């Protein structure tokens, strides 16, 4: 499928790898940078279109708020990818289809995303019986971060081209293709969230590392076995 991911903010926290180990399948290694594991909260707007690009977006799936909670992993061949703890989305049908086809832990939630100049606000609350909410307000800098010469940590956190999932207990992968993220520096002016707690993670001991992207166009492949 062809996706558009826009108005996206990366919010990243450091964790000790041992804190994530019980939440990730044993067949995947926790990927670390200088000994630290990282958990990312990534709210954005999702648009899904058919594989034929001149066709319009799928009904009800144009600029839909979504928020992912994820970490970074390697498979037994050393290939880098993403493991999702949760994915909140504002459309029940989309959550149901993604769970059924990709095995991803989607949740249906009431969500909002509003931008006012260089400030952007994200809010979400999962539908009962789930209990998880967040409110994030980000101030976007005018300073862009050039793709060439980015530091190794930023590449570690954003240059990921594979996701992993479990389907019927079997480890699967899906490849993603997109241009390198255009990034701008950003800061948090308000953040209140219980997504980490709902995923079984402790509160982070340090403040987050934050970056904003206007977005990318994405091709998402089908789920395939990990060989």
Give the per-residue pLDDT at 59.
57
Question: What digits encode the pLDDT tens for the residues 33-65?
Answer: 999 999 999 999 999 876 655 555 555 667 899
Give the per-residue pLDDT at 61.
67
Give the per-residue pLDDT at 49.
79
Cβ contact 116:140 at 8 Å: no
Question: What digits encode the pLDDT tens for the residues 71-87?
Answer: 999 999 999 999 999 99
Give the per-residue pLDDT at 48.
86
Task: Single out the residue of 144, 141, 147 nearest to residue 188, CA to CA.
Answer: 141
Give the per-residue pLDDT at 224.
97
Give the per-residue pLDDT at 57.
53
- Residue 160 makes CB contacts below 8 A (sequence gap 6+) with 72, 80, 81, 82, 176
Give the per-residue pLDDT at 1.
79
Give the per-residue pLDDT at 208.
97
Residues of the chain with pLDDT under 70: 50-61
**DSSP of 98-158:** HHHHH---EEEEEEEEEEETTEEEEEEEEPTT---EEEEEEEEEEEEE-STT--HHHHHHH
- Rounded mean pLDDT of the chain? 94
Looking at the domain 2-225, which fold is it? Answer: Acetoacetate decarboxylase-like (2.40.400)
Query: What are the structural domain ranges in the chain?
Result: 2-225
Give the per-residue pLDDT at 162.
98
Give the per-residue pLDDT at 74.
98
> Whole-prediction pTM value?
0.93
């Amino acid at each position: 499928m062809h996706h558009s991911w826009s108005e996206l903010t990366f919010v990243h926290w450091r964790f000790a790898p041992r804190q994530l180990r019980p939440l990730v399948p044993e067949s995947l290694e926790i990927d670390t940078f200088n000994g630290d594991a990282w958990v990312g909260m990534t709210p954005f707007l999702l648009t899904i279109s058919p594989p034929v690009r001149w066709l319009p977006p799928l009904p009800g799936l144009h600029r839909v708020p979504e928020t992912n909670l994820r970490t970074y992993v390697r498979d037994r061949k050393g290939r880098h990818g993403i493991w999702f703890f949760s994915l909140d989305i504002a459309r029940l049908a989309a959550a149901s289809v993604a769970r059924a086809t990709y095995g991803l832990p989607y949740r249906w939630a009431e969500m909002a995303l509003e931008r006012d100049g260089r400030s952007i606000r994200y809010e979400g609350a999962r539908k009962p019986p789930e209990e998880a909410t967040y409110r994030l307000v980000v101030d976007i800098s005018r300073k862009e971060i050039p793709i060439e010469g980015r530091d190794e940590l930023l590449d570690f956190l954003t240059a990921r081209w594979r996701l992993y999932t479990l389907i019927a207990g079997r480890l699967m992968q899906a490849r993603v293709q997109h241009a390198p993220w255009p990034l701008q520096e950003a800061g948090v002016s308000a953040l209140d969230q219980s997504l980490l707690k709902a995923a079984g993670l402790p509160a982070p001991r340090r403040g987050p590392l934050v970056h904003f992207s206007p977005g990318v166009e994405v091709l998402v492949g089908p789920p395939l076995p990990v060989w």
